[in-house]
């Protein structure tokens, strides 16, 4: 009887030791497994290379003089839509001015893809060094819960319908040029990496500009349109010579292209940016707002 009790005790101790060793082994093996990770689409954009804006908005190292790709493109809702199930939140970048009201909107982001009438062929390598933007953005209501006045503007080298961008910049919509009909006019310059923003031949048709925010709404009406300009020289260069130079007045309205881009924030290709019948120059000298169709001298 005593012998059996001793055996029972020994067995209990042995079993206990085995369980302890197994527990240690299991806990050790679990600790050695790679830790699981999760991907949050809302934060994935922040992992892309982020461009920064210079404090003075315009003074950045000048890009090489042999630029072969520069123009102004209006943000337009696509008609017919390229993605029928996304008819309201996608559009085109076109050289033609809008002739009808356009509002591009969504709950998270809108995107606009480079396009040209007739789809002409491009050759060589087209690099983008900066993207100047003039955007009419729906004013957020400060009284709304979770009020957030910031948006992000970026570009993608792919026209797939998603939030991802290659480079972006954050814009505070409260720091606007003017406000008209509950839309804020915001301007910015996204300085890009030309090795990333590089398109060979017809690949330029993959260039897509995206605006991300809380329920973004972008307006592009005939009298209140949004546009971008790619590869704009900085202010110092504009004041001296060259494309959009100090003595250059492309739309012949009396304001130099430099003044329009960096002072009055008007369209250097349109003599009457707000389409109110008074030229940008006349509005400037008479004290009205050349971006506000309701402001007539």
Could you read off the pLDDT of 226-278 as tens digits, one per residue? Answer: 999 999 877 777 776 544 445 678 899 999 888 899 899 999 999 999 999 99
Band of pLDDT at residue 145, cut at 50, 70 and 90: confident
Q: Which 8-state DSSP code applies to residue 221?
A: B
- Using alpha carbons, list the distances in angstroms from residue 196 to 50, 62, 106, 181: 12, 17, 27, 37
pLDDT at residue 240 in the model: 64
Sequence spans of domains, the chain: 48-232, 233-297
pLDDT at residue 149 in the model: 92
pLDDT at residue 296 in the model: 86
Give the residue with greater pLDDT, 48 vs 226. 226
pLDDT at residue 99 in the model: 92
- Using alpha carbons, list the distances in angstroms from residue 216 to 14, 61, 279: 68, 32, 30
CA pair distance 33, 36, nearest whole angstrom: 9
pLDDT at residue 63 in the model: 52
Q: What percent of the chain has pLDDT over 90?
A: 53
Give the residue with greater pLDDT, 3 vs 184. 184
The answer on pLDDT for 98 being more than 50 is yes
Question: Which CATH class for the 48-232 domain?
Answer: mainly beta
Asked if 123 contacts 204 with a C-beta cutoff of 8 angstroms, the reply is: no
Average pLDDT for 42-62: 39
Which tokens sit at 150? 């910031």
Average pLDDT for 148-167: 94
The residues near 290 (Cβ < 8 Å, ≥ 6 apart) are 264, 266, 273, 274, 278, 280, 283, 284
Task: Indicate the range of 27-36, 154-163, 210-219, 222-231 predicted with least confidence.
Answer: 27-36
Mean pLDDT of the chain: 78
Give the residue with greater pLDDT, 166 vs 141. 166
pLDDT at residue 61 in the model: 52
Cα 116–Cα 198–Cα 64 angle in degrees, nearest 5: 100
pLDDT at residue 41 in the model: 29
- Using alpha carbons, list the distances in angstroms from residue 197 to 14, 92, 163, 219: 68, 18, 17, 26
pLDDT at residue 216 in the model: 94
Which tokens sit at 45? 């954009």
Nearest to 131 by CA among 69, 48, 183: 69
The answer on pLDDT for 191 being more than 70 is yes
Average pLDDT for 171-194: 94
Band of pLDDT at residue 128, cut at 50, 70 and 90: very high
């Amino acid at each position: 009887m005593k012998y059996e009790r001793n055996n029972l005790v020994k067995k209990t101790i042995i079993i206990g030791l085995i369980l302890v060793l197994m527990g240690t082994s299991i806990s050790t093996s679990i600790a050695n497994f790679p830790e699981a990770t999760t991907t949050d689409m809302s934060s994935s954009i922040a992992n892309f290379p982020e461009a920064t804006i210079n404090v003075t908005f315009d003074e950045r190292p000048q890009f090489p003089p042999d630029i072969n790709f520069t123009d102004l493109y209006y943000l337009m809702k696509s008609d017919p839509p390229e993605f029928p199930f996304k008819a309201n939140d996608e559009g085109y970048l076109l050289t033609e001015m809008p002739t009808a009201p356009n509002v591009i909107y969504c709950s998270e982001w809108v995107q606009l893809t480079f396009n040209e009438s007739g789809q002409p062929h491009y050759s060589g390598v087209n690099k983008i060094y900066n993207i100047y933007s003039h955007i009419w953005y729906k004013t957020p209501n400060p009284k709304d819960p979770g009020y957030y006045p910031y948006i992000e503007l970026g570009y993608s080298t792919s026209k797939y319908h998603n939030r991802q961008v290659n480079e972006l910049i954050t814009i505070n919509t409260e720091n606007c040029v003017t406000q008209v009909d509950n839309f804020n006019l915001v301007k910015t310059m996204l300085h890009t990496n030309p090795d990333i923003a590089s398109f060979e031949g017809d690949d330029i048709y993959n260039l897509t500009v995206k605006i991300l925010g809380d329920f973004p709404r972008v307006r592009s009406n005939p009298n209140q349109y949004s546009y971008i300009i790619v590869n704009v020289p900085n202010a110092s260069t504009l004041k001296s010579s060259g494309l959009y130079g100090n003595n250059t007045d492309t739309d012949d309205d009396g304001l130099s292209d430099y003044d329009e881009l960096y002072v009055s924030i008007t369209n250097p290709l349109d003599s009457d940016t707000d389409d109110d019948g008074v030229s940008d120059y006349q509005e400037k000298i008479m004290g009205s707002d050349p971006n506000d169709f309701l402001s007539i001298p």
